[in-house]
Amino acid sequence: MSDRYDPFREIDELFERMNRGFSDAGFGGHEVSVDVSETDDEVLVAADLPGFEKEDIDVTVADRQLRIGAEADRSREAADARYHRRERARRNLTRTVYLPEEVDESGASATYKNGVLTVTLPKLGDDADGGRRIDVE
């Protein structure tokens, strides 16, 4: 994908900022907090997903976009209990992160430890023409 102007990306980023603002003000749903950094060789994304199991998390990458989703349904736990308030029964979080560089999608990896998801995305390099770099062994 080229670095040309994409008005839809700008609109998506605007909605993302608005949703974060509403969430910070106490309105709306939950947002996944992320840090995006890079080294010479890779893009790193760290996301806070406390209270989820590895099996609850779905991560996809395509077209310089990383989508993180997590869904947990605990409504079957303690079915015989009488709840006065139930806010933790079902949680559904999503976040799309626009990546600063083209990445090798097939080389991406993810780890989840202590409520933090870390996604490592190798960069394609400057000489890549929309494909993935393959090392010759």
pLDDT at 38 over 60: yes
Domains of the chain, first to last: 33-122 (2.60.40.790)
pLDDT attached to residue 10: 79
This prediction has a pTM of 0.67
Residue type, 34: V
Residue 129 confidence class, pLDDT cut points 50, 70, 90: very low
Q: What is the pLDDT of residue 131?
A: 42
Pairwise pLDDT comparison (20 vs 32), residue with the higher score: 32
Distance CA(8)–CA(6), nearest Å, equals: 6
pLDDT, tens only, 54-94: 989 999 998 889 999 898 876 666 667 777 776 666 678 88
Full 3-state SS string of the chain:
CCCCCCHHHHHHHHHHHHHHHHHHCCCCCCCCCEEEEECCCEEEEEEECCCCCHHHEEEEEECCEEEEEEEEECCCCCCCCCCCCCCCCEEEEEEEEECCCCECHHHCEEEEECCEEEEEEEECCCCCCCCCCCCCC
101: confidence class by pLDDT, cuts 50, 70, 90: confident
- Whether 17 shows a pLDDT value over 90: the answer reads no
d(CA 118, CA 48) in angstroms, rounded, equals: 9
Using 50, 70 and 90 to split pLDDT, how confident is the model at 1?
very low
pLDDT at 91: 77
